[in-house]
Amino acid sequence: MVYRVYVEKRKELSHEAKALLSDARAFLGIEALRDVRIINRYDAENISPELFDYAIKTVFSEPQLDIASDEVELDGARVFAVEYLPGQFDQRADSAAQCIQIISQGERPLIRTAKLYALYGELSDEELAQIKKYVINPVEAREASLEKPATLAVSYDIPTAVRTLEGFIELDRKGLEAFVSEYALAMDLDDIAFCQEYFRSEKRDPTITEIRMIDTYWSDHCRHTTFLTEIDGVSFEDELLQSAYEEYLEVRRSLGRNKPICLMDIATIAVKKLR
């Protein structure tokens, strides 16, 4: 049996919800949005009802900070839920499962989490779609069902054969563009063309597994090189962004940092300042 509980920060402590409200109004220009609630949803299986009830106040929530309930009042709200993609590590779920296992000294339960977003205001479908796009990172997450599942157990079909991408080495540049789009690859056109040249030298088409593997590590490499690329010129049209950048430069001077400006430095300098 699957048990479900909703956990929401008390109004005075709902900083994440307030931040999303501010971002949606300021950055997305959705002024019709009046209020936002963010509620963590926990589903649990392979657990006794007594242990689940005990875990609500000891694992899933902190009574002094959170409100936990088996149902949530959402009248008048536009609601959607977000969960990790299958295969993505869910630290919140894993930590909860480990804690419950320590408490019970028994088998580890199955835990699945999601975040519910309740949006209040006269929102159009287009504005709702804007907020969803802002909130959901398709690389790691997806929109989740609002219904409680019959089970949390996931069955995977083991492929008996790995698909070969027939005709890959024969694609022209337009074909490669369509290929990148179809498979939502992190590589750009030049990247996939480079891969194509390799497989042409091998005189064979790649498998889908090979392309997915290359794309995964290629994108990871690109993230590192991008964040360490030296930035030698910056301009802003927005005064607020210009002010923030000038504040960053002032912090660099105060810390005596002489290394070239890069995205990694911008991302980490606040922590260095707070030390």
What pLDDT does 222 receive? 65
What pLDDT does 220 receive? 66
What Å distances lie between residue 31 and 21, 77, 82, 136, 268, CA to CA?
A: 9, 16, 23, 20, 32
Terminal CA-CA length for the chain: 48
Between CA 199 and CA 248 the distance in angstroms is 45
What pLDDT does 229 receive? 83
Of 10-14, 86-90, 113-117, 208-212, the poorest mean pLDDT is in 86-90
Mean pLDDT along residues 4-29: 96
By C-alpha distance, which of 131, 149, 139 is closest to 31?
Answer: 131
Between CA 202 and CA 191 the distance in angstroms is 17
Mean pLDDT along residues 58-69: 97
pLDDT for 91-149, tens place per residue? 999 999 999 999 999 999 999 999 999 999 999 999 999 999 999 999 899 999 999 99
What pLDDT does 170 receive? 97
Higher pLDDT, 41 or 153: 41
What pLDDT does 117 receive? 98
Average pLDDT taken over every residue of the chain: 93
What pLDDT does 38 receive? 98
Mean pLDDT along residues 75-96: 95
pLDDT of 267 strictly over 80: yes
What pLDDT does 221 receive? 64
Of 52-61, 244-253, 266-275, the poorest mean pLDDT is in 266-275
**Predicted TM-score of the model (pTM):** 0.66
Between CA 125 and CA 52 the distance in angstroms is 37
Q: How many helices (H) and strands (E) does the chain have?
A: 9, 6
pLDDT for 140-192, tens place per residue? 999 999 999 999 998 777 777 899 999 999 999 999 999 999 998 888 899 99
Structural domain boundaries in the chain: 3-144, 168-228, 239-274
